[in-house]
Structure 1
Amino acid sequence: MIKKLFATVFFLGFVTLATAQTADTVAAKVNADTIPKANPKQEAFKPKIKKEPTYHPDSTHSPSLAVKRSLFIPGWGQLYNKKGAWWKIPAIYAGLGALGYSIVDSHKNYQMFLALTRIKNTGKPLEDFKPGDRYYAESQKYATEVERYASVNATQLQEAASNYQRNFQISILSVLLVWGVQTVEAYIEAKFISSYTVDDNLSFKISPALINQPMYAATSMGSYIPGLKVTFAL
């Protein structure tokens, strides 16, 4: 009898232990099944980490050095800045060359018409000038021009000389102006290079937008009108 009772208690204890282990195993399996697994599609649509823009400041570029070079030799500052030097330098020297030719030509014609005016004011024909006479050298140097402008009076010759003198002066001032402008341009360009950084991730974006109208321009359709928004990322 005692053996039967002991066997019965042992059997019930074993069943209880087995049931408890099965319940724990099922619970663990349920918990494992309820844990959300990573979806490959969701992994694919993860937002990409934006690369930080790289800046390239040129802190060694000196605006004062660009100015000094441009003052010493026109175009040297533009060559130092490098930006647009391929067309700026030829343009500078083309302008200076044209002005230089104008200076030489205006001065030459001024001297000629001034001498013709003086010869005309003497009232003597060209063949009457003798060595030692006043303006004799001029009469021999400009003998061809004296005959060419024989029908032109002294007043007209004086006006022509004044015009060439004015052109001569204007040409000199223009040379100084071009020299100064190219120096200022070299300084401004160098200042932009040394003071601003440039991002290597330049972008341009156009998107639709609504533009808010002033109150006096608002209509019954609303105070907003459609438009385009242009965004530059530098």
Structure 2
Amino acid sequence: MSKYVISALLLLFLVIQVRAQELDSLSNKVMREKSDLGPAIKERGNTLFRDSSKLQSPQKAVMRSAIIPGWGQWRNGKWWKVPLVYGGYVGVGLYYEFNQRYYKIFLKESQVRKSGNEAAQNPDYKFASDEQIYNTKDFYRRNRDLAILGFIAFHSLQMIDAYIDAKMATFDVSDNLSIKIQPSVYTPMYAGSGLQAPVPMLKLSIKL
């Protein structure tokens, strides 16, 4: 009998402690929100949140980046990404120009060889076989096509980046990382039917 009395008292103590901690935490949170509101950043409890009124929506970020690359990143406050965006476009453009230039050279050479006009052949490739010329032409053509696909992929990537930045902008941006251990009560599914009593336990909370 004494074992059940002790268990009941322990359970009651844990419930009271949990309820008291919840009320205290709620009270502290309300007080901090009333006293520490800022124009662009609000402090809620110990956590910082950006004011959504100063930010753009993810949909607008995507549309802006689709129209003018880097615009969405700039409006998200990630201005340092704009040079990276245009650097990527320049890199893809140079890769395309290089392969397109040599594709035209070897395309012309392959057409001359097919026509049989030896006088019109490029003297720089006179020791190359016809098969080597054709294979080189196809090589640069494939690389040129990959550059076009790379341009489309990079344009889509910078749009996705702008969307993610805008979507994550209202998330917690503080450096707070806390681990909290507090008493709690676990109530099994069939506890109400009398098959199993509530079990006291420790609750581990990790705040990222």
What TM-score does the superposition give when structure 1 sets the normalisation length? 0.54
Q: Which residue does 1:65 correspond to in 2?
A: 60
From 81, 92, 107, the equivalent of 2:76 is 81
Q: Which residue does 1:90 correspond to in 2?
A: 83
What letter matches 2:82 in structure 1? I
Higher gyration radius (CA): 1
What letter matches 1:82 in structure 2? G
8 Å Cα contact 2:179-2:207 kept in structure 1: no
Distance across 1 between alignment mates of 2:176 and 2:91:
42
**CA offset at residue 230 of structure 1?**
8.1
Inter-CA distance 62–207: structure 2 relative to 1 (3 Å threshold):
closer
Could you say what the CA RMSD is over the residues aligned between the two structures, in angstroms? 2.8
Establish whether residue 192 from structure 1 lines up as the match of residue 201 from structure 2: no
Establish whether residue 118 from structure 1 lines up as the match of residue 111 from structure 2: yes
Q: Which residue does 2:32 correspond to in 1?
A: 52
**Where in structure 1 are there 5+ consecutive unaligned residues?**
1-46, 127-138, 210-228
**CA offset at residue 203 of structure 1?**
2.7
Establish whether residue 106 from structure 1 lines up as the match of residue 109 from structure 2: no
Distance across 1 between alignment mates of 2:87 and 2:136:
27
Q: Which residue does 2:207 correspond to in 1?
A: 232
Inter-CA distance 204–148: structure 2 relative to 1 (3 Å threshold):
same
8 Å Cα contact 2:102-2:140 kept in structure 1: yes
**CA offset at residue 103 of structure 1?**
1.1
How many residue pairs get matched? 145
8 Å Cα contact 1:57-1:198 kept in structure 2: no
**Where in structure 2 are there 5+ consecutive unaligned residues?**
1-23, 34-42, 45-49, 183-203
From 200, 204, 218, the equivalent of 2:177 is 204
